Chains A and B, each alone.
Chain A
Amino acid sequence: MTSKRIAVMRELLSFTGIEEDRLRVEWISAAEGPKFAQAITEFINQIKALGPSRLKVAA
């Protein structure tokens, strides 16, 4: 269900002018600490590469 909604959300964000890559979905168990840390670090780097969102600038 989530993956279906995320698929819709990504395209909607793109249509609204927000980069799709600012949305990410991962399935991680509470017992998978290192995997979580890695996913977050990667995501942070991905977002930093995109630069500040024009959302904050406009608001």
Chain B
Amino acid sequence: MSEKVRARVKELLDSGKIKGFLGLRKADGHIGPHLFSDAGDLDGLVLGDRERPGDTRYPLNKQLTTLARCYPQESFGVLVRGCDERGLKTLFTWNQLDPAKVVPVGIACPPELAEACECLKPYPDEFLEGERMDGRTFASVARVEALGLPRRLEHWLAEFAKCVKCYGCRDICPMCFCKECTLQQEDLIHTGDLPPENPIFHLTRAVHMAGRCIDCGLCNEACPADIPLRTLYKKVADIIAQEFDYRPGYAKPGEKPPLNILGEAPEH
């Protein structure tokens, strides 16, 4: 399954086009992120299918951002699914990564994963493994919208009450790169409570995900309390799409997120 990717990585490393490739490596029965820098040592390279397709995913973009900051002159390759590519494009827009220094190597997601993620585009623009699958719709959002206002509030308050304020969602999010995080500002969100201010904590994060979240779902996976964060952020993405005709990661190069520009959003 990963032969084509391995071959491409070898080619890129041999040619010197990239200093290293940020991908996934299987060692001792576990899969974890790994920076491959030796073209002769790619045996452990895997695509993150430990028991089920895509069950082992990591925010490789986030690690790439840190890496690029330490080695700004070097180019790196990175394994990308559809969502990761949306992440890259958005990080380029936010000037967190230099597109000239990033070489994505794409893989498409199988239908089970596309379904589980309710992904609108489960494949990057170019990919070596997998097949182009149909985009899905946000059924989880529709289910909440089918509830009346009181039932919605009941649902969300119950979910947010499970929060243990581990900041897992924020820490794993490839789009969260703020040096000072609103969620840790005492003046805005009272610290020292468990669960954190309900629903302020999560609504604040949701608002910050507007125009930023690329719907990778790592937040959901990271949450130890199984809070359906992704549904909330999908809704926020829908609002932005509806109001400003913009979805992070699908924009044309150079197109700015509507909440990044002062004044009215540009007409489309």
Residues of A within 8 A of B (CB): 1, 4-5, 7-9, 11-19, 54-55, 58-59
Contact = CB atoms under 8 A, between A and B. Distances in A.
B153 A9 contact: no
Interface in B236-251: 236, 239-240, 243-244
Interface of B: 144-145, 147, 149-157, 198-199, 203, 206-207, 210, 232, 235-236, 239-240, 243-244, 258-259, 262-263, 265
Most B C-beta atoms less than 10 A away, residue of A15, A19, A54: A15
B262 A1 contact: yes
B198 A1 contact: no
A3 to B, nearest CB: 9
Contact of B240 (A8, A17, A58, A59): A8
A11 B239 CA distance: 7
Contacts of A14: 149
Contacts of B265: 4
B153 A54 contact: yes
Nearest to A19: B149
Given A4-B259, A7-B243, A8-B243, A15 B152 contact: yes
Given A1-B262, A5-B207, A17 B236 contact: no
Provide the main secondary structure of the chain B interface.
Answer: helix
20 contacts: A4-B244, A4-B259, A5-B259, A7-B243, A8-B207, A8-B239, A12-B206, A12-B239, A15-B145, A15-B152, A15-B235, A16-B153, A16-B203, A17-B150, A17-B151, A18-B149, A18-B153, A54-B154, A55-B199, A58-B154
A59 B145 CA distance: 23
Contacts of B206: 12
Given A8-B236, A16-B152, A17-B152, 9 more contacts: A8-B240, A14-B149, A15-B145, A15-B232, A17-B147, A17-B156, A18-B153, A54-B153, A58-B153
A2 to B, nearest CB: 10
Contact of A12 (B145, B154, B198, B207): B207
A50 to B, nearest CB: 11
A13 to B, nearest CB: 8
B240 A12 contact: no
Contacts of B154: 17, 54, 58
B239 A17 contact: no
Contact of A1 (B147, B244, B259): B259
Contacts of B198: 59
A49 to B, nearest CB: 15
Pairs of residues from A and B, 4 with the lowest C-beta to C-beta distance, nearest first: A17-B153, A17-B152, A11-B239, A58-B157
A49 B247 CA distance: 37
A7 B238 CA distance: 12
